[in-house]
Amino acid sequence: ISITVKTRDGALRTLDAPEGLSLMEAIRAGGIDELLALCGGCCSCATCHIYVEEAPEALKSPQGDDENDLLESLDFRKANSRLSCQLTLSPELQDLVVRIAPED
Ligand code: FES
């Protein structure tokens, strides 16, 4: 699955990642370590916060209560916010474009 990531300095990186990986894992495996993901994907740290800029299907994939609660606690939450550890790469997300949210 090809995804494009905008980092905080505005750079664009395109990565190829296997289906089934979480978006957070794909971003970190691509060497973008400003996405801290401190909890390792347990949906408890919110340091994997991203904005979905293209491929809005990603916003339709089910958001768990835990994810919603954590997003609620963030100052920088927007309508297109997601926690990247809670999104699994699938063919619908081909050409997904996301932006790494500012540090909360
Ligand atoms: Fe901690 Fe996503 S990695 S909430």
**Per-residue pLDDT tens over the stretch 16-73:** 999 999 999 999 999 999 999 999 999 999 999 999 999 888 888 889 999 999 999 9
Q: What is the pLDDT of residue 104?
A: 83
CATH code, 86: 3.10.20.30
Say if ligand 1 is within 6 A of residue 43 CB: yes
Instruction: Judge if the beta carbon of residue 39 lies within 6 A of ligand 1.
Output: yes
Specify the pLDDT at position 62.
86
Atom of ligand 1 nearest to the CA of 40: 3
Task: Please tell me if the CB atom of residue 36 comes closer than 6 angstroms to any atom of ligand 1.
Answer: no
CB-based contacts of 85: which residues, under 8 Å, 6+ apart?
A: 22, 23, 24, 25, 37, 39, 41, 42, 43, 48
Q: What is the pTM of this model?
A: 0.95
Decide whether any atom of ligand 1 lies within 6 Å of the 35 Cβ.
no
Total domain count, the chain? 1
Tell me, in angstroms, the distance from the centre of ligand 1 to residue 10's CA: 22
- Counting every residue written for the chain, the total comes to 104
Q: Name the residue range of residue 72's domain.
A: 2-100
Q: What is the DSSP letter of 88?
A: B
